[in-house]
Each structure stands twice: as C-alpha cells, then as structure tokens.
Amino acid sequence: MYEDIHGQGHGEHLRGEAVTKVPLLIKFPKSSEYSKYVGNDIQTITSSVDIFPTLLEFFHLPSDVERPGKSLLSIIRNEIEPDRVVYSETGIWFSDKGDHFFQKQRIPYPNILQLHQVVAEEDFQIMITDKTYQETIAFAKHRSVQNSHYKLIYIPTRKGVIFELYDRNKDPLNQTNIYPFGSVGIGLRNQLFSLVKQWENASEAGDYLLPGTLRNSDL
C-alpha cells in the first residue's frame, strides 16, 4: 500500500504500475464448468468494475441497468478479447504534507483527518459532509485510462491541466512523459473524457473535467 516512497497511502497518485495493479483470485466450485480452468493466469487488462458483471453472468442473473465493466468469463474461457481501455482515479488525499512529486501537482485541500466526520445518522459512517470540500475533492481527482501498452494520466492543477502519457511496457515506473509526441495521447484523452462524461455526468471546461455536481456551483 505504500508504493515505493511514493506516498503516505494508496490512491495518492496514478504514476507507476504498482499503483493500479490489484491482485484478484477467482475460485470456482468444483461442480462449475469453469473449474477446469484452474490455474489460468489472465494477462488481459481488467478492472475491479468487472467483478459485478462476472458474478451476474456466472449466476445467470439478468441486469436491466447499464454499468461499467464486463464479465471476465469469456477471458477465462480463453476466448480472444480486443484490447481494452480501463479507468482509474485517485481517492481523497491522505495527507497534505511532504515534498513528494504529487504534492506539487495538486489542487490543495486539507487532509482527510481534518475533513472527516463520524455521522451518527448514517450508521456512524466516516464521511466528508462539507459540500464545498466534496465538490473540490471531485474536481481535484487525478484520473487515468490505460490499455495494454499505454497509460494516460489527467492531472488538474490551479495553473491548468497536465497530461502525462507513459509506455507501460518500456517504462513501468512511469518516468518519461511521452504525451507531447505523437497522437496516442490525444486518442486516450478523448476516451478518458468520454468515460467521465458518461458515468459522472461531467462536462468540459477547456481541458478541465467538471463533475455533474459542479455544473451549477462555484469552486
């Protein structure tokens, strides 16, 4: 969770392969038709949002609501899948202290310990109740899309948006930004914006993404 001196918590930034790789093991019942695929190592790019549609297909349950993600059962069956683009985003900043590279690329707001409240009316959940900070947190998120070859990172700052593009195979630590070169970055940028607009009802303001909750409010 503490990736390589990169931060004080998981989800502080999106640079480097370790940040977005989450192990997933699937164990099927012996009676399942999929039990014969025990030991298969899936190399295709996947996402945590794939778990829900995978369970729906496995249990033959219908779904009338469109959701992100896709079932992994076809991949487990060794069927050929086209290269995918999957989405990631940062969470709430754990800390606003330190001299890490990502601290210099942030729209600042107080750390989680200063913002959270224990809300008795919501079953004593830990929540951030201040609407202004809720909106700032949503606006300030770093976002990314990646396929089997490249990762694009969207970084909003007070001085503008930074786009970083990395070759995941040649540069797994994401140290050389190749966004200014070629058209790959522009294509992934368009895919990122399309996904965020679809699932967050977001809009564009120049290079910035405005989540739906911000359309009629001020930061």
pLDDT at 164: 97
pLDDT along the chain (219 residues), means of 10: 53 85 84 81 86 92 87 85 90 80 87 84 87 87 95 96 96 94 94 94 93 62
Segment 104-144, tens digit of pLDDT: 888 988 887 788 888 899 898 888 888 888 888 899 999 99
pLDDT at 1: 47
pTM: 0.86
Is residue 202 assigned to a domain? yes
pLDDT at 215: 57
Instruction: Look at the chain and report how many structural domains it folds into.
Output: 1
Residue 102 sits in which domain range? 87-214
pLDDT at 181: 92
pLDDT at 50: 93
Q: What is the CATH number of the domain that holds 164?
A: 3.30.1120.10
Is residue 201 assigned to a domain? yes
Is residue 93 assigned to a domain? yes
DSSP the chain: ---TTS-SSTTS---SHHHH---------TTSGGGGGTT----S---GGGHHHHHHHHTT----S--S---SHHHHTT-------EEEE--S-S-S-S--GGGGGS-----HHHH-EEEGGGTTEEE---HHHHHHHHHH--EEEE-SSEEEEEEEETTEEEEEEEETTT-TT--S--TTSSSHHHHHHHHHHHHHHHHH--EEETTEEE-GGGTTS--
pLDDT at 82: 82
pLDDT at 196: 94
Residue 91 carries which side chain, given as an amino acid letter? Answer: G
Is residue 50 assigned to a domain? no
